[in-house]
A and B are shown apart, each in its own frame.
Chain A
């Protein structure tokens, strides 16, 4: 095995085979974060259930009871949860992924491994949480005797779309954060704005027709509407929005991968 270490000029290579060799490290880091979270909190594993439950109750009470937003005859907890599921995954995993490179700066300055492993591990933790929340949604649907729509077969596509967007945006911010330390303050702000700019607490049908396409340039709109459409099946899918959202997600993902790989060799110099 012969390797030449020199200054990289030109374009970054993705080096997916190297990433594949380190796939177990992704698993170990994700496992570490999960184990630590449950070791460090008194309530332990219950935490995974309490968080989605409390969020759902708040959304149901505030928007369903107090604001009395229309629900098209769907039980409000299911209506909100179908949207909360991708949103919670995105907001948590994006924040963790964006912070992970600087957060593990000590490791980066002391040992080599493909740095992509770090944000991927954060997203993997998000996937575990997502599966727990998903099980939670199934329980609610059983309680309300609500059968999912036949569109449910398309749900995996929207899950993948959501994960792709989370990884892509996470990579951009993780790499920026190494160079610009005030990005830290921007991350929660983006999540906050994103919540209002996405149809989590309301339905896309409330957006005026002429703004519909502009609104759909936020790729989380396609993701959340897709989740609602797959699970609840009531409102028809807005296809131009779905296409725009998917394309934008692809640009963010591949751009993020490329930007991350391009700046990766200098991470250790900035940390």
Chain B
């Protein structure tokens, strides 16, 4: 087996500014220069190592999974291999053309037609015009959107959009494919098609590096897994062994999220956590009849334009199960904020969620627009006292509904 990608002691240091952002203001830099002359200003803020001393290899024809909690450094590692950002220390050796799919449909513009977007996206992914033209029919037929190829993609359903975007990427001629959780989108049938495509890539002797939170996907796709914890390799080896350990350590759920930095000065999340709805305890597996409370602590530091917080709940296959917002009971779709610290609570009633694992995303209002903090929390609903356990019923949710005799 030939090595296709090899990392040697890869580390990445991020410096978080005193404010919330990596970039600065020229005004502040110039004021500093006026007072202190042209000495470089002292580095303020805190350092944090997103990756420390990570080494790995990927051989040809191998699919390697990257697993770990949010913030473990998986995305940073993919960005380094994709050459989007450089490592602070260490090296990655790449033997072949890399196609990275950290997101599907980069550069897609809603006003452009499907055909126009295929060419644009293909060019961004590094394909030439002639290459795209040659593969165009194949891409379109893979995506199953033939009828709408000359329609602006703003009229597409989200499924069609994703199918077209993935189809372009799947037809890249590369020796190494890098995929970040893209399989969490699209319907089940299309997901199967994507998995099939990735297996065929492997059988052609090409390599795949895939990040996924879905252990079923990882197990069915990968021969080897690298498990990252806080930027370090915790374990590496055959999928079954590592995934087994990952799942059995009982650490797989993130019940509390405390962001490392805020996006804006005005709004700041202190923590978001998931607890039992009845007792308020933080437990790994919440009984189905206990209900789930999402507790949101945040502060408003400057007077703030109206906004709202959104909580999005996904199930284990990545499907959005529900969205709820802090302004659901307000007719104008927003509510006024007051300065100071706040604690809000969202109650998800008992029996609504079927037993299984859930991922929670929240939005961060930034005044006028929201930033999605994706999959910041995960929790499990146990089969204890669940309706599903009682009679094995079907359905993505298992609510206990009111039956009345008419």
Contacts and interface: CB of A to CB of B under 8 A. Distances in A.
Interface of A: 1-8, 22, 24-25, 28-29, 32, 35-36, 39-40, 106-113, 176, 178-183, 186, 265-266, 268-270
Nearest to B152: A39
20 contacts: A1-B95, A1-B97, A5-B91, A6-B90, A6-B92, A7-B88, A7-B89, A22-B126, A24-B128, A32-B109, A32-B116, A35-B112, A111-B102, A111-B106, A112-B84, A113-B124, A186-B26, A266-B85, A268-B84, A269-B85
Interface stretch (B75-83, B188-196, B216-224): B75-83
A110 B112 contact: no
Given A4-B92, A4-B93, A6-B91, A180 B22 contact: no
A116 to B, nearest CB: 14
B24 interface: yes
Contacts of B26: 176, 180, 182-183, 186
A25 B97 CA distance: 17
B84 A110 contact: yes
A182 B128 CA distance: 37
Nearest to B84: A268
A109 B84 contact: yes
Nearest to B90: A6
Contacts of B23: 178-181, 270
A13 to B, nearest CB: 14
Interface residues of B, number: 45
A269 B84 CA distance: 9
Contact of B29 (A1, A22, A180, A270): A180
A161 B332 CA distance: 55
A119 B78 CA distance: 26
B25 A270 contact: no
Most chain A beta carbons < 10 A, residue from B27, B82, B84, B87: B84
Given A39-B111, A111-B102, A179-B24, 6 more contacts: A1-B97, A7-B88, A106-B106, A178-B23, A180-B24, A180-B25
Interface string B118-157: 0110011110110000000000000000000000000000
B172 to A, nearest CB: 11
B120 A32 contact: yes
Contact of B85 (A1, A113, A268): A268
Most chain B CB neighbours (cut-off 10 Å) among A24, A109, A111? A111
B103 to A, nearest CB: 5
Given A5-B81, A25-B124, A39-B111, A270 B106 contact: no
Contacts of A108: 84
Interface string B189-227: 000000000000000000000000000000000000000
B123 A5 contact: no
A2 B95 contact: yes
Interface string B93-119: 111110010110011010110001001
A8 B91 CA distance: 11
A109 to B, nearest CB: 7
B22 A270 contact: yes
B319 interface: no
Nearest to B95: A2
B107 A107 contact: yes
B102 to A, nearest CB: 5
A25 B79 CA distance: 21
Given A28-B119, A110-B103, A265-B85, A5 B111 contact: no
Given A32-B112, A36-B111, A180-B23, A5 B83 contact: yes
Contacts of B112: 32, 35-36, 39
Closest 9 A-B residue pairs measured CB to CB? Answer: A180-B26, A112-B83, A28-B123, A5-B92, A6-B91, A268-B85, A25-B123, A265-B86, A182-B25
A6 B87 CA distance: 6
Most B Cβ at <10 Å: residue of A2, A6, A39 = A6
A108 B79 CA distance: 11
Could you say which of B21, B106, B111, B123 has the most chain A C-beta atoms within 10 Å of its C-beta?
B123
B86 A4 contact: no
Contacts of B87: 5-7
Nearest to B81: A5
A75 B234 CA distance: 78
B32 interface: no
Nearest to A112: B83
Nearest to B79: A268
Given A3-B93, A6-B86, A109-B84, A182 B123 contact: no
A99 to B, nearest CB: 15
A107 B123 contact: no
A35 B116 contact: yes
B14 interface: yes
